[in-house]
Amino acid sequence: MTDYGAFMEALVFYLFAILGVLAALGVVIARSPVRSALSLALVFLALAAMYVLLNAPFLAVAQIMIYAGAVLILFLFVIMVLNPRLDLIGGRTAAQTVAAVIFAAAFGVLMSVTFAAGQLAPATGVFTPEYVSEAGHVQVIGALLFSEFLLPFEIASLLLLIAIVGAMVLARRERVRHGDPRQDLR
Amino acid sequence: MLTVTHYTVLSAILFSIGALAVLIRRNPLIMFMGIELMLNAVNLAFVAFARYLNNMDGQVFVFIVLTVAAAEVAVGLALVVAIFRARENVDVDEIDALKG
Amino acid sequence: MSQMLWLIPALPLVGAIINGAIGKRLPRAMSAWLAVLMVTASFGVSVLAVLNLVALPEDARVIHETLYQWVGVGSFSANVAFWLDPLSAVMILVVTGVGALIHIYSVGYMAHEEDYARFFAAMNLFAFAMLTLVLADNYLLMYLGWEGVGVCSYLLIGFWFNRDSVAVGTDEKFLSPRSSATKAFVVNRIGDFGFMLGVILMFWTFGSLAFEDVFQGAETMFQVGAPVITIMTLLLFMGATGKSAQVPLYIWLPDAMAGPTPVSALIHAATMVTAGVYMVARSHVLYELAPTTLAVVAVIGTLTAFIAATIALVQNDLKRVLAFSTVSQLGYMFFALGVSAFSAGIFHLMTHAFFKALLFLAAGAVMHAMNEMIDMRRLGGLRKYMPITFATFLVGALALSGFPLFSGFFSKDEILAKGFAHGEVGLWAVSVVTALMTAFYTFRAVILTFGGKPRWKEGEIVTAQDEDEHSGHGARGLHPHEAPPVMWVPLAVLAVLAAFGGFIGLPHVLGTNYFDQFLEPVFQQPHVEISETLEWTLIAISTAAALVGMFIAFRFYRGSSTAPARLTSYYPWLYNLWVNKYWVDQFYDFAVARPGRWLANAFWVDVDGRIINGIADGLGRTFKNVGQSLRSLHAGYMRGYALAMLIGIVVVIAIVVMRP
């Protein structure tokens, strides 16, 4: 039973890990922004699967709802509104592209090596998987958000408000400044 | 048996790909997608550590990051719309008014 | 005792501040009479203070009044404190008394002047500085006044700073008021530097600058002839040669005549130039400990008196004759100080203040009447037109020549007698010759100006050398007239003083020398006994010198004598030497001013312009070039920045990871 469970876990992990990496590469490579956006949706789905594997089912649901739902829809919406040119890929110079690839790869390798070489500290936390599944994932996160992390939570809400107002101000068509009041009536 | 290293290495790979998206694409929309990729990679690391340390703080952080990401996308896309309206173009390399 | 000494300098200071700040908005009469009022009130307070002083017993005749501590650093302290003893009493009476008369005179003399308030502000400021100088109880405060009078002198010599020349109706070239003021200031600075060094040495030696401490310390700590005291007194005397126009620094005083005539009378005859005499007399305790310095003072004084008198013989400019005569008379005062006849020197200072102020003011009245023209070759016959001025000028001339019973006679005779009694026969002989020359050039001036027939025509137009800027005098024809009362009344008062002021200091054979007695508590000198026969002989000799000088002047310049012209052609080299003032100005220009200018120029162009400026410019250029080359990195190329960030992150992580 344990062997089977572990095998299934590893299978699901590698499946979605490969899916996620390929989809991420698709985001970078795709010529069409719509394809990039759809690849991004696949990455989000893969990550949601990871969250399930990591005993965070609520986060998985939130990931799908917020990223795949809200953020991605916003991207697609803007793409459709603007209908931008499709071939904007590559750097101003080839050197930029080459350097970017080299250093991004170097970064990934360095980080991977670091993680692989590192030792994880002993698991001293109280939120064992058994405790969480017994108390309920949503309840645990909710309790933490409204007690220990209340201040960051409130600040995040303020940030959202500012972002909403800012987005409105930025995206609004400015006509008054140029002086012809009739334009406002159009 | 999966260890935390599996997840963190995946996180590092996704982060690098996100950075690559920012660096080699000239379309600001794709650059934003790269940023989202990087944020998600970090989220994955958070959740993985939370799971293997039996500590929920990482998951709470993911919520905060989600919020910031949403706000960032809203403002960023508004900027893109505004720039596109002004210049009829969304090539990042041509937005260089800050040059010395 | 009521504290009122501070009022004496403070009143003119108030006048100066008011006139300086809002004088231009005051009515003209108000700003002038305000200045007069302040100096006169100061004179009144001075008289009261001196009466208080005289009421004290003779051995305690000092009023010491401390206002506040001015400087207090460690063990050093200097107070703003005033010290009234018989010596400063004489000085404040002279400064405020003569000063008040000259202020009154100025009201009339400067009546046509545009910049009325500035003139009176500077005059009042001068009175403040001079009174601070003579009332100070320590050398630091004295130095403040010392520099203050220098500044006022500069301001007033350059009063007509926008004129290139003040000489009218003459072909002689004089320095412009600007250059004269600068010259006076710079030359004075040389002396002041010595004075400052002397004061520093004094502080170094005694640890204090208060008169009481210094004099007590000097008497207890040092023997006669101590080298420190000799150096100190020589340095102080260097200051005196600058301020009091002695050899070798006398050259500024003749050019100072570019200022308005009341300034010449007040600052460059009666008061400021006597500051050096006062300072040496005030420091007599130190000087008596330094016989070498006293000898230097006596020689310099005699030399100055002689040289200035010879130059005065051949000057054509009335004010310049008086200027050189001032230098010469100051030389007499220093001769007196040099032979330890301090009270005689101060006595001559006082009588000189009376008669020289009188002569200058009378000369000013002449200028006023003659459209500013004072070239004596073009004057003449003025006694009919301005009898009061003539009479007062004559009184002043008699006093200056040492004509018996006039004030100058007594003071000069006392100096000569004391010098002879002191054993300086050689210097005495030179001084007698100088006295003869003094009588000659004085009466030469009198005769050329007032006597004979006019060498000008009624209605003639004289022109200034810078006609266009001149304020309207040049265009009017000559119509000499007597000075208005506001000018001749001070002349008359001064004439009375010049005539009878000497009677307070009679020689031993004629009566009592009250002046000596009054100053006795300050100087405390043993009485030098000289026999009556000798004293009568000396009086006879100096009288004879004066009379001979006057006689020669009459022979030369009454009528149409050709003697001066013949003398000039017999001894052209001597005439040239004198008329060119021994070429001292040219020598200084060559030896000091040119190298100084060259050095200043070198520092300006090479050191400052090339080296310092080069360093500053080079630094700026370096940064500019670095910025220029780094500029291309700042391409506004956003992804370039992002790549740079990533590279940086990778490098940092690599360093952290690779480190063992």
What are C51-84's pLDDT values in tens digits? Answer: 989 888 888 888 888 888 888 888 888 889 999 9
C648 to chain A: closest CA residue:
A103
Residue A35 belongs to domain with CATH number: 1.20.120.1200
Does residue C247 surpass a pLDDT of 50?
yes
> What pLDDT does residue C145 have?
94
Q: Is B20 on the interface with C (CB under 8 A)?
A: no
Q: Is C25 on the interface with B (CB under 8 A)?
A: no
A93 to chain C: closest CA residue:
C640
Contact call for A111 and B82, based on CB within 8 A: no
> What pLDDT does residue C175 have?
85
Contact list, A141 vs chain B (CB under 8 Å): 56, 59-60, 63
> What pLDDT does residue A5 have?
81
**Residues C191 and C250: beta-carbon distance below 8 Å:** no
A-interface mutation test, from C646, C651, C656, C658, most A Cβ less than 10 A away = C646
Q: Summarize pLDDT for C606-654 with one digit per residue, the tens.
A: 888 888 888 999 999 999 999 888 877 766 677 888 888 999 999 998 8
Token readout for B66 is: 């989600």
Contact list, C633 vs chain B (CB under 8 Å): 100
CB count within 10 Å of CB C451 equals 18
Mean pLDDT of B54-66: 89
Q: Is B1 on the interface with C (CB under 8 A)?
A: no
Q: Summarize pLDDT for C175-192 with one digit per residue, the tens.
A: 888 999 999 999 999 999
Contact call for A59 and B62, based on CB within 8 A: yes
> What pLDDT does residue C474 have?
46
Q: Tell me the backbone φ, ψ of residue C543, rounded to 5 degrees.
A: -65, -45
**Residues B42 and B15: beta-carbon distance below 8 Å:** yes
Nearest to C650 among A91, A110, A113 (CB): A110
Does residue C414 surpass a pLDDT of 80?
yes
> How far is B10 from B45, CA to CA, in rounded Å?
9
Contact call for A96 and C646, based on CB within 8 A: no
Q: Is B34 on the interface with A (CB under 8 A)?
A: yes
The model's confidence at residue C473, banded by pLDDT at 50, 70 and 90, is very low
Nearest Cα to Cα of residue B44 among A111, C506, C172: A111
Whether A71 is covered by a domain: the verdict is yes
Helix (H, G, I), strand (E, B) or coil at C454: coil
Q: How far is C647 from chain A (nearest CA, A)?
A: 6
Nearest to A166 among B1, B36, B78 (CB): B78
Contact call for C634 and B26, based on CB within 8 A: no
Nearest to A89 among B8, B12, B26 (CB): B26
DSSP for C101-143?
HHHHHHHHHTTT-S-HHHHHHHHHHHHHHHHHHHHBSBHHHHH
Whether A178 is covered by a domain: the verdict is no
**Residues C654 and A111: beta-carbon distance below 8 Å:** no
Mean pLDDT of C554-578: 83
Sign of CA dihedral A48, A49, A54, A56: positive
A-interface mutation test, from C633, C639, C643, most A Cβ less than 10 A away = C643
> What pLDDT does residue A186 have?
43
ipTM at complex level: 0.88
* Residue at C270: amino acid letter: A
> What pLDDT does residue A88 have?
55
Whether A126 is covered by a domain: the verdict is no
Range of the domain at A21: 1-85
Contact list, A100 vs chain C (CB under 8 Å): 639, 643, 646
Contact list, C645 vs chain B (CB under 8 Å): none
Mean pLDDT of C86-91: 93
Mean pLDDT of C365-388: 87
Nearest Cα to Cα of residue C132 among C37, C2, C42: C42
> What pLDDT does residue C472 have?
47
Helix (H, G, I), strand (E, B) or coil at C461: strand
Nearest to A51 among B23, B47, B74 (CB): B47
Where do the structural domains in chain C lie, given as residue ranges?
Answer: 1-137, 138-457+488-579, 588-658
For residues C168 and C126, the model is more confident at C126
What lies within 8 Å, CB to CB, of C108 at 6+ separation is: C483, C484, C486, C487
Q: How far is B64 from chain A (nearest CA, A)?
A: 7
Q: How far is B98 from chain C (nearest CA, A)?
A: 5
The model's confidence at residue C469, banded by pLDDT at 50, 70 and 90, is very low
Q: How far is B75 from chain A (nearest CA, A)?
A: 5
Q: Is C659 on the interface with B (CB under 8 A)?
A: no
DSSP for C342-409?
HHHHHHHHHHHHHHHHHHHHHHHHHHHHTTT--BGGG---GGGT-HHHHHHHHHHHHHHHT-TTSHHH
> What pLDDT does residue B89 have?
65
Whether A72 is covered by a domain: the verdict is yes
> What pLDDT does residue C115 have?
84
> How far is A39 from B21, CA to CA, in rounded Å?
13
Token readout for A162 is: 């500012």
C642 to chain A: closest CA residue:
A100
A93 to chain B: closest CA residue:
B24
**Residues C218 and C286: beta-carbon distance below 8 Å:** yes
The model's confidence at residue C468, banded by pLDDT at 50, 70 and 90, is very low
What average pLDDT does the structure give for chain C? Answer: 88
Share of chain C above pLDDT 90, in %: 52
What are chain B's partners, defined as 3 or more CB pairs within 8 angstroms?
A, C
Q: How far is B3 from chain C (nearest CA, A)?
A: 21
Token readout for C302 is: 């005699």
Mean pLDDT of B83-100: 69
> How far is C479 from B7, CA to CA, in rounded Å?
118
Token readout for C304 is: 């100055």
Token readout for C156 is: 């007033």
CB pairs under 8 A between A and B: 247
> How far is C305 from C637, CA to CA, in rounded Å?
87
C-interface mutation test, from A92, A101, A109, A110, most C Cβ less than 10 A away = A110
User: Which residues of chain A register pLDDT less than 50?
Assistant: 184-186
What lies within 8 Å, CB to CB, of C281 at 6+ separation is: C87, C337, C342, C345, C346, C523
**Residues B93 and B26: beta-carbon distance below 8 Å:** yes
Contact call for A106 and C650, based on CB within 8 A: yes
> What pLDDT does residue C547 have?
92
Nearest to C649 among A107, A113, A114 (CB): A107
Does residue C463 surpass a pLDDT of 70?
no
What are chain C's partners, defined as 3 or more CB pairs within 8 angstroms?
A, B
> What pLDDT does residue C348 have?
94
Token readout for C573 is: 């080299």
> What pLDDT does residue B99 have?
63
Mean pLDDT of C82-89: 92
Number of domains in chain A: 1
User: What topology is assigned to B4-90 in CATH?
Assistant: Helix Hairpins (1.10.287)
Q: How far is A175 from chain B (nearest CA, A)?
A: 12
Q: Is B50 on the interface with A (CB under 8 A)?
A: yes
Contact list, A8 vs chain B (CB under 8 Å): none
Helix (H, G, I), strand (E, B) or coil at A127: coil
> What pLDDT does residue B100 have?
55
B43 to chain A: closest CA residue:
A47
Q: How far is A178 from chain B (nearest CA, A)?
A: 14
Nearest to A123 among B52, B85, B90 (CB): B52
Contact call for B37 and A160, based on CB within 8 A: no
Does residue C106 surpass a pLDDT of 70?
yes
